[in-house]
């Protein structure tokens, strides 16, 4: 029972609401014990002041580390000479019919049994879908197995670090390494997979490899015979096979001895490694290698052994990495479509988890591809290519499963487009596409084509209002038809070819509700952006837009925008909490870094997904792509920022609109929000001259005040002069 699991299990037994338990669990970093988390995290200490939560934590600490259940390795296979029961007791998997050994993976090899892990990679399915699409698109003979391993477009993509969506090469750190290394041949791609791990990075080997690759550090060999073994890796020990080859070439080890040395070093078995030192030195003496040089080489191999990587594994992964990069570089539309399809069902909207589907959609847009919205008239179950654009797949909408999507696609294929909601409910299987599914389709905008042509805000409100009666009517008609009763007074089944028979008077959805529903169903905003209605307020409190940031800015900047993602992490050394936040305004997106000291000062509590904030701090430009990051020093809500930096509220309108009742209402609005910000009137006369009137009113700036002013004297009637 790991720390988080213990918290959740105890919380369930104590009947503490799941939301409260989750709040505690999220404060515990992965890999840390409950005790360590409590020592390092003031927020967690604050959360468990409540007696119930204190009891929860005390009980969880007692249970932490105990065995909770058995598990089955996802890809582990045991190979034995005789029947397995001669070597190990067996059991039936808890949640499957798989027959498993009762001994764990560490014990089995000690019994002399061969344990193999057969990995299944989603990336192979992505490539398969992309290849099928390429063949359908006019290249029937295309074969991913025969692509050239020196393709210029592929290496151009790699050198630019545009490896988002490329197997093994898409993390921020790996993209930075790819840009630094600037691969020029396939062996570089193989080395990348082996190098980007904690051991090589902490030892400095990664920097050494890059420097030798680009000639800024001389490639030297401790012995001339090492050149043939290490030349492909610029004189660096990168692979376990190189250790084996060195032991054979310099010390005359047999293949079996060399493999024994590899195992000893790979498992950090110092006793076994030291036991083989004498054999290595003896073999080197017999091959005329000086003992001092031989001892130095052996020390290097022992040091390397702790993080050595298997070259055959690295080549296999490197090949898949190269193949996915090749597809992205040469067939971007087909590859990105397949990549998006692979993410369906893998992206829960969780604050601290990146939504890869949205990330890849943004990448496709950045590559110049058009993303077409989901539409029951055109979408397939998965993402598809239509008119050189990517059409959103129906199953990528929340709550829409494969059966529902297939029912819609099949009904459309059999009878053509759906002219109305009534027709849709008649032809689609309502057992698969139930009310929850259709509501989700409406919210996502996938049924906008079934509206009355009065704009999407009215259309979606109308469809939601008419859905229940329409589904009930069509279900009743289907039941009657199934019983053979027929319909005496309707022209054709359910008058299916006309517009919906339901006539419901509805108010159009508020833009905020429409966009909120879209994000809930799709993971992002498709029809607009929630910041648009706050444009003037954002301009009043920011010093820069994200688009305007430059590397030569050495002053504190303030950005105003929407937090789209919060990734909470802990430092490796001290386990202190910090956060990496995605903040976007109407011009772009920036990474906001809330480091431990700022996090502990209270900024950690101020960052939550889907909130509008201002963030002040220093700019940092990392990597060769020059993308900025903002190191947070202050974070405020939009209302707090308006109150803090608003110097004067200016209200502008014409004297023709100066009705006594409106002025009276305006005065009441201002008096409801007392504060320190002065109010000024700017009146436009019939002759178009402007008169300025300083009032005695002082207000507290905030969203509610501005909304009420707009309702009283109209939109764009206010302006905030800022004190920067």
pLDDT for res 64: 92
Q: How far apart are CA 116 and CA 100, in angstroms?
A: 14
Banded model confidence at residue 404, pLDDT cuts 50, 70, 90:
very high
* pTM for the model: 0.73
Give the DSSP letter string of 489-512.
SSSSGGGTTSS-S-----PPPPHH
Rounded CA-CA distance 544/560 in Å is 8
Cα dihedral sign, 536-541-545-548: positive
Confidence tier at 680 by pLDDT (50, 70, 90) = confident
Helix, coil or strand: residue 352? coil
Mean pLDDT for all residues in the chain: 87
pLDDT at 453: 66
Report residue 19: phi and psi, to 5°. -60, -40
Per-residue pLDDT, 350: 54
d(CA 566, CA 581) in angstroms, rounded, equals: 5
Query: What would the two tokens of residue 684 be?
Result: 């436009």
**Other CB atoms within 10 A of residue 270 CB:** 13
Q: Is the pLDDT of residue 500 over 60?
A: no
Between CA 237 and CA 239 the distance in angstroms is: 6
pLDDT at 493: 45
Q: Give residue-wise pLDDT tens across range 312-369.
A: 989 999 999 999 999 999 999 999 999 999 999 876 555 556 678 888 998 999 899 9
Which of 646, 653, 661, 659 has its CA nearest to residue 705? 646
Average pLDDT score over residue span 83-97: 85
When pLDDT is cut at 50, 70 and 90, the band that residue 499 belongs to is: very low
The CA distance from 642 to 541, in Å, is: 6
pLDDT for 345 equals 81
Residue recorded with tokens 């296999």: 316
Helices vs strands, H then E, count in the chain? 31, 16
Answer whether 322's CB lies under 8 Å from 149's CB: yes
653 confidence band (pLDDT: 50, 70, 90)? confident
* % the chain with pLDDT above 90: 48
* CA atoms of 130 and 89, how far apart (whole Å): 44
Q: How high is the pLDDT of residue 498? A: 41
Burial (CB count <10 Å: 0-12, 13-18, 19+), residue 696: exposed
* Cα distance between residue 668 and residue 147, in whole Å: 74
Res 486 pLDDT > 70: no
Percent of the chain with pLDDT over 70: 94
pLDDT of residue 489: 45
Lowest-pLDDT range, 181-185, 217-221, 651-655?
Answer: 651-655
How far, rounded to the nearest angstrom, does the alpha carbon of residue 245 sit from its chain's CA centroid? 41
Give the whole-angstrom CA distance, residue 640 versus residue 37: 31
Q: Compute φ and ψ for 153, nearest 5 degrees.
A: -60, -40
> Measured in Å, how far apart are the chain's first and last C-alpha atoms?
52
CA pseudo-torsion sign 551, 556, 560, 565:
positive
The predicted model gives 416-427 an average pLDDT of: 93
Pair 496, 422: CB distance under 8 Å = yes
CA distances from 607 to 32, 510, 553, 556, 592 (A): 23, 26, 25, 19, 10
Q: State mean pLDDT over 71-93.
A: 89
Mean predicted confidence (pLDDT) in 601-613: 91
CA nearest 236: which of 246, 249, 221? 221
Q: Choose between 446 and 354: higher pLDDT.
A: 446
Sequence-separated (6 or more) residues with CB below 8 Å from residue 376: 394, 408, 412, 418, 424, 441, 446, 447, 449, 450
> How does residue 540 score in pLDDT terms, banded at 50, 70 and 90?
confident
Q: Is 581 exposed, middle or buried (0-12, 13-18, 19+ CB in 10 A)?
A: buried
Taking residues 111-130, report their average pLDDT: 89
Whole-number pLDDT of residue 106: 83
- Assess contact for 592 and 560: CB atoms under 8 A: no
DSSP 16-66: --HHHHHHHHTTS-TT--HHHHHHH-HHHHHHTTSHHHHHHHHHHHHHTTS
pLDDT at 117 over 60: yes
- CA dist., res. 311 & res. 167, Å (int): 17
Residue 164, pLDDT above cutoff 50: yes
Residue 486 DSSP label: -
Q: Go through the domains of the chain in sequence order and give each one's CATH number.
A: 3-63 (no CATH), 76-117 (no CATH), 215-308 (no CATH), 357-362+370-522 (1.10.150), 532-642 (2.40.50.140), 645-722 (no CATH)
Which ranges of 331-372 would DSSP assign to H, the alpha helix?
332-342, 356-366
CA angle 514, 518, 519 (to 5 degrees): 120
Distance between CA atoms of residues 393 and 380, nearest Å:
6
For the ranges 245-259, 429-443, 549-563, 681-695, the lowest mean pLDDT is seen at 681-695
Cβ pair 644, 723 in contact under 8 A: no
Rounded-to-integer distance, Cα 116 and Cα 87, Å: 16
Distance CA 109, CA 537 (A): 65
Q: What is the pLDDT of residues 447-469, one digit of tens each?
A: 999 976 678 999 999 999 999 99
Indicate if the pLDDT at residue 497 is higher than 50. Answer: no
Question: In the numeric block, which tokens belong to residue 519?
Answer: 């994000």
d(C-alpha 372, C-alpha 464), whole Å: 23
CB 390 within 8 A of CB 383: yes
Burial class (CB in 10 A: 0-12, 13-18, 19+), 547: exposed
């Amino acid at each position: 029972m790991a720390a988080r699991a213990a918290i959740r299990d105890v919380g369930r037994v104590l009947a503490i609401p799941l939301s409260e338990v989750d709040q505690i669990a999220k404060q515990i970093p992965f890999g840390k014990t409950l005790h360590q988390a409590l020592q390092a995290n003031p927020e967690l200490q604050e959360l468990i002041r409540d007696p119930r939560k204190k009891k929860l934590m005390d009980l969880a600490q007692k249970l932490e580390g105990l065995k909770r259940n058995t598990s089955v390795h996802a890809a582990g296979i045991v190979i034995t000479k005789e029947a397995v029961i001669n070597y190990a007791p067996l059991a039936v998997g808890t949640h499957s019919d798989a027959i498993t050994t009762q001994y764990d993976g560490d014990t089995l090899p000690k019994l002399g049994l061969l344990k193999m892990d057969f990995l299944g990679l989603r990336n192979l399915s992505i490539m398969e879908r992309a290849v099928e699409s390429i063949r359908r698109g006019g290249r029937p003979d295309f074969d991913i197995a025969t692509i050239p391993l020196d393709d210029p477009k592929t290496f151009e993509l790699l050198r630019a670090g545009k490896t988002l969506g490329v197997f093994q090469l898409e993390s921020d750190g790996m993209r930075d390494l790819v840009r630094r290394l600037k691969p020029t041949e396939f062996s570089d791609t193989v080395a990348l997979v082996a190098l980007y791990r904690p051991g090589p990075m902490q030892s400095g080997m990664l920097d050494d490899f890059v420097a030798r690759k680009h000639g800024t550090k001389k490639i030297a060999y401790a012995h001339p015979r090492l050149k043939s073994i290490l030349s492909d890796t610029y004189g660096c020990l990168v692979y376990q096979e190189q250790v084996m080859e060195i032991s054979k070439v310099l010390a005359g080890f047999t293949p079996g001895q060399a493999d024994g040395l590899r195992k000893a070093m790979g498992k950090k078995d110092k006793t076994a490694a030291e036991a083989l030192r004498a054999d290595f030195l003896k073999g080197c003496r017999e091959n005329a290698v000086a003992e001092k040089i031989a001892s130095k080489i052996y020390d290097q191999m022992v040091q390397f052994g702790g993080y050595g990587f298997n070259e055959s594994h690295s080549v296999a992964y490197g090949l898949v990495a190269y193949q996915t990069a090749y597809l992205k570089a040469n067939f971007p539309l087909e590859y990105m479509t397949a990549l998006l399809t692979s993410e369906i069902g893998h992206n829960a909207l969780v604050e601290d988890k990146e939504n890869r589907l949205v990330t890849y959609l943004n990448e496709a847009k950045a590559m110049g591809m058009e993303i077409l919205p989901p539409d029951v008239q055109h979408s397939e179950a998965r993402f598809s290519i239509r008119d050189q654009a990517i059409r959103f797949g129906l199953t990528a909408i929340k709550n829409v499963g494969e059966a529902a999507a297939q029912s819609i696609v099949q009904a459309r294929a059999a009878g053509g487009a759906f002219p109305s909601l009534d027709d849709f409910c008649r032809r689609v299987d309502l057992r698969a596409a139930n009310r929850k599914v259709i509501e989700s389709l409406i919210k996502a905008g996938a049924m906008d084509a079934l509206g009355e042509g009065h704009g999407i805000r009215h259309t979606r409100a109308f469809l939601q209002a008419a859905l229940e009666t329409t589904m009930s009517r069509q279900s009743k008609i289907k039941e009657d038809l199934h019983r053979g009763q027929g319909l005496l007074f309707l022209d054709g089944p359910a008058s299916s070819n006309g517009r919906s028979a339901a006539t419901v008077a509805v108010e159009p959805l508020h833009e905020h509700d429409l966009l909120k529903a879209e994000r809930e169903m799709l993971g992002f905003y498709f029809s607009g952006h929630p910041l648009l209605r706050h444009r003037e307020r954002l301009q009043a409190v920011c010093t820069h837009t994200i688009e305007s940031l430059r590397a030569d800015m050495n002053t504190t900047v303030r950005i105003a925008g929407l937090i789209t993602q919060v990734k909470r992490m802990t430092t490796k050394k001290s386990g202190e909490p910090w956060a990496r936040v995605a903040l976007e305004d109407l011009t772009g997106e920036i990474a906001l870094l809330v480091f431990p000291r700022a996090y502990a000062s209270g900024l950690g509590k101020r960052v939550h997904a889907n909130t509008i904030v201002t963030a002040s701090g220093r700019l940092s430009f990392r990597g060769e792509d020059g993308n900025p990051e903002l190191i947070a020093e202050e974070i405020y809500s939009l209302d707090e920022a308006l109150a803090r930096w608003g110097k004067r509220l200016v209200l502008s309108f014409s004297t023709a609109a100066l009705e006594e009742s409106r002025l009276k209402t305006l005065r009441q609005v201002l008096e409801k929000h007392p504060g320190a910000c002065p109010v000024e009137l700017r009146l436009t006369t019939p002759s178009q001259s402007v008169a300025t009137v300083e009032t005695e009113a002082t207000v507290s700036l905030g969203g509610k005040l501005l909304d009420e002013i707009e309702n009283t004297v109209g939109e764009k009637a206010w302006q905030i002069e800022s004190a920067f």
